[in-house]
Structure 1
Amino acid sequence: MRVLLLAYGSRGDVEPMVGLAVSLRALGAEVQVCAPPDFTELLDGFGLPLVPLGRSVREMATRAVTGTKAPLPAAGLSQRAAQMVAATYEQVAAVADGCDAVVATGLIPAAAAARSVAEKLGIPYVFVAYFPAYLPSPHHPPLAWPGRPLPPDVTDNRVLWDLNTENMNALFGDAVNTHRASIGLPPVDNVRDHIFTDRPWLAADPALGPWLQPADLDVVQTGAWIRPDDRPLPAALEAFLDAGTPPVYVGFGSMPIRDSQDVTRAAIEAIRAQGRRVLVSRGWAGLAPTDEGDDCFVVGEVNQQALFGRVAAVVHHGGAGTTTTAARAGAPQVVVPQMADQPYWAGRVAGLGIGAAHDGQTLTFESLSAALKTALTAETRARARDVAGTIRTDGATVAAKLLRDAVSRERPPASV
């Protein structure tokens, strides 16, 4: 079995695919990964060949967040979507011969191209979401698209998802159908349902991000796809951890943020005010200490699975991967959501009682201090430890076996 995995997005989109790839290889499958060039080193570490897609996601995200480039209007987004569909299809089709299945996530135009590749080859295609609120449900509203805010007077989620269908058709319909016509495929009248399919997968832990019933969509919840990570912590970090009480970790992963130095200063001061040491993760935000105090240590890329069980709390942006890793470790969390799935995870962390949802995107001394007072209580830590025991770690294995079974059903029976 040969499987093509496509993830056009940030590290939070790509790293779960690494977990799936490892599980697929354990079943004897060959895996090809298509992802942005930012993640060559990550994939190389697992011996996974990478077909790089498009430009650096880090550069694009940094420009968008820091305001060095104005957001595109809807028309501009549609034009870029057309370019992405065509370019992604060309790159993926070039390496898809001989594949038995395609699994895709990330940006909508790229996923549309992946579905077209699968359709041309006549092989199974699976779309995967990493959080429930990305998929249509009567239990939550859709995300808003640029230039198309949700009407504040509408509270019926089904009505909002119907509007979401209209918005996605308006933004991506021409791009998708023009390209489909160019490669001999028929048009689609519902871009979202075409890309998501009527049976998408949800790679989220059922305790952290449950798919609520009843629902209109037949979602397959596999559990979170967790990459194996047995890297030791750096010796200098081990020494810092051993030198005092557990620190509070603060980092925003592959999420650039505005005014990163001001944010770092406010975070360090708020953590110190709670009598805690500080562990700063640089990440794409480029966080860096504002003084040389020996109660503060800086890390780059590090094994969070090994680290989070040794910290007092984790202050982060609320990506699915970081939220799941902290929850598995039993570490209390403060989620400072910036965009996309992050408000959802902030709400889940607060709702489960395993941490606090920060009030707003902008972190200040006062706002973080208030959130830390909740996260650092004995009650929150006890609850976080209880929830940690419910987190499943077999999601990638479940998904790999489902994919193997789907491919087996599609293959013609062997001749006698």
Structure 2
Amino acid sequence: MRFLVSTIGSRGEAQPVTALAVQLKELGNDVKVVAPPDFEELVTGNGIDFTPVGQSLRTFSPGKLKPEDLPRLAEESVREQFRVVGQAAQGADVLVAGGALQHATRSVAESVNAHYVYASFCANTLPSPHHAPPAMLGRVPVNGTPEENLAQWEQQRMLFGHARESLNAERAELGLDPVGDIRDHIFSDAPWLAADPLLGPWPGPGELVTTGAWLTDDQRPLAEDLEAFLAGGEPPVYFGLGSMHGAQDTAHQAVEAAHKLGKRVVLQQGWADLQLADDAPDCIAIGEVNQQALFRRVAVVVHHGGAGTTTTAAAACTPQIVLPHMYDQYYWGSQVERLDIGRSAKAVTAETLAEALELADEAAKVGAQVRTDGARVAAQRLMRVGR
């Protein structure tokens, strides 16, 4: 069977898409991944065919977007998606769209007579009266009554409308009828939720296909200098912002807070290229790393609140501090606090860090319940869809 799995998101979407592709291939299928060019090594390193789409996200800062920029960016993205996905999908039996704003995937699936599945990696990116929508364009919605939540969802629906004209023009080229509601068209009538049922449950109403989070089985060894650092003292504090363009001050505050508590620090430089203030021997700066291996050996994980990092930290039975920047990260911060396995904060202080350190027992209890088979479950179900 032939599958095309696509995303236009950051690593938080490219990583689970790759995890799904790996499982599909292990089950004997042909698989292609379409993703931004930043993730070619991630995908091909796992033995999966890769096709780039769009510009590099590493040099693109969504935090600087203005509402007036959206129509132009939407049109450019839609046309690029139709071109790339349309070419890559020839002969595919199933097309999977992983994450938001994938305007082309469903239309291309219709044009090649393939099945279509939309998968979200976080419950609050799918409409429900039981939660507010994710943070977008600097606005952080707040949970309210069901009526208030739905009103906020209706406001966000308009953001999808910027692409309507371009999407329908592309559909016309494929001989397809126009669509009116772009958001519902992308999400479909039966979206999947690829999130851990304990960490990020679907609140209802309505039934979704829930598979658990799509996690890779990362077998990469830790670098020798990192291994030596970890072995040279008590478990340190990890700080990293992944693909966020965070400020250096945030990292310096975290290091200072850790020092006040006598804790060492592992600083993951990430896309923000974070740097240590000095070369003190109780700190180490690292690049790309096997988080699954590292998080089991640190005292606290301080991070931006991406779905994958939150789930990986939880599965490692390690307390965490979430420093949300955008989109679903505020939701994950609230879930960490709900389960009492960490804290959500604007910055790291010694007090917040001390609180998180006290949550090790609860983090261990929750971590023992986090599922790691979500990608396999999804792959097996997708094969049934494609038959």
Give the Cα–Cα distance (whole angstroms) in 1 for the partners of residues 67 and 134 of structure 2. Answer: 17
| 8 Å Cα contact 2:212/2:374 also seen in 1 | yes
| AA aligned opposite 1:79 | R
Kindly state the Cα deviation for residue 389 of structure 1 after the two structures are TM-superposed: 0.8
Whether the 8 Å contact between 1:204 and 1:222 is mirrored in structure 2 is: yes
TM-superposed CA distance for 1:288, in Å, is: 1.2
Q: What is the Cα deviation at residue 77 of structure 1? A: 0.8
Q: Is 1:73 aligned with 2:72?
A: no
The residue number in structure 1 matching 2:378 is 399
How far apart are the structure 2 equivalents of 1:138 and 1:153?
9
Residue in 1 that maps onto 2:269? 282
Report how far residue 149 of structure 1 moved. Answer: 8.3
Q: Which moved more, 1:149-158 or 1:315-324?
A: 149-158
Counterpart contact for 1:73–1:147, Cα < 8 Å: no
2:87 to 80, 89, 94: 94
For normalisation by structure 2, the TM-score amounts to 0.95
Partner of 1:231: 220
1:15 aligned residue? 15
1:347-362 maps to which residues of 2 (within 5 A)? Answer: 347-358=334-345, 360=346
1:260-299: CA deviation from partner (whole Å, max 9, x where unpaired): 2x22221111111011111110111111111111100111
Q: Which moved more, 1:155-164 or 1:333-342?
A: 155-164
> What displacement does 1:373 show?
1.8
**Residue 117 of structure 1, aligned match among 60, 85, 108:** 108
Aligned to 2:55: 55
Deviation at 1:107, TM superposition (A): 4.4
| Distance in structure 2 (CA, Å) of the matches to 1:152 and 1:87 | 35
In 2, distance between residues paired with 1:170 and 1:88?
16
1:152 positional shift: 11
1:368 is aligned with what amino acid?
T
Asked if structure 2 preserves the Cα contact closer than 8 Å seen for 1:128 and 1:201, the reply is yes
Q: Secondary structure at the match of 2:324?
A: coil
CA contact (8 A) 2:161 2:182 kept: no
What amino acid sits opposite 1:195 in the alignment? Answer: I
Of 294, 306, 311, the match for 2:281: 294
Q: Secondary structure at the match of 1:310?
A: coil
Q: Distance in 2 between matches of 1:71 and 1:230?
A: 37
CA distance in 2, matches of 1:371, 1:150: 24
Equivalence for 1:162: 154
Q: Do 1:317 and 1:342's aligned partners in 2 also have CA atoms closer than 8 Å?
A: yes
Deviation at 1:150, TM superposition (A): 6.4
Alpha-carbon distance, 1:145 to partner? 4.6
Listed as ranges, the gaps of 5+ residues in structure 2 are none
Alignment of 1:119-138 (within 5 A): 119-138=110-129
Residue matched to 1:320: 307
Residue identity matched to 1:372: L
Give the match for residue 232 of structure 2. Answer: 243
Distance in 2 between the 1:329 and 1:95 partners? 36
Structure 1 residues 156-165 or 177-186, which shifts more? 156-165
CA RMSD of aligned residues (A): 1.9
Q: Report what 2:241 is aligned to.
A: 252
Aligned to 2:178: 187
State the Cα deviation string for residues 83-131 of structure 1 (Å, max 9, x = none). 21111111111121111100012441xx121111101011111111110
Structure 2 residue 297 is the aligned partner of structure 1 residue 310: yes
- Percent identical pairs in the alignment equals 45
| Residues 86/263 of structure 1: CA separation in 2 closer, same or farther (3 Å cut) | same
Distance of 2:316 and 2:214 partners within structure 1: 16
Other-structure match for 1:370: 351
Query: Does the 8 A contact of 2:135 with 2:326 survive in 1?
Result: no
Kindly name which structure, 1 or 2, has the bigger radius of gyration based on alpha carbons.
1
Match of 1:385, SS state, is: helix
Please give the per-residue CA displacement for 1:165-184, whole angstroms capped at 9, x wherever unaligned.
Answer: 3x145323222222222322
- After superposition, what is the alpha-carbon deviation per residue over 1:294-320, rounded to whole angstroms, capped at 9, x for unaligned? 100111111110111110000000000
Query: What is residue 414 of structure 1 aligned with on the other side?
Result: none
Contact 2:22–2:48 at 8 Å: present in 1 too?
no
Aligned length: 386
Letter in 1 for 2:66: L
Counterpart contact for 1:5–1:34, Cα < 8 Å: yes
- Aligned counterparts of 1:138 and 1:58: Cα–Cα separation in 2: 34
SS of residue paired to 1:3: strand
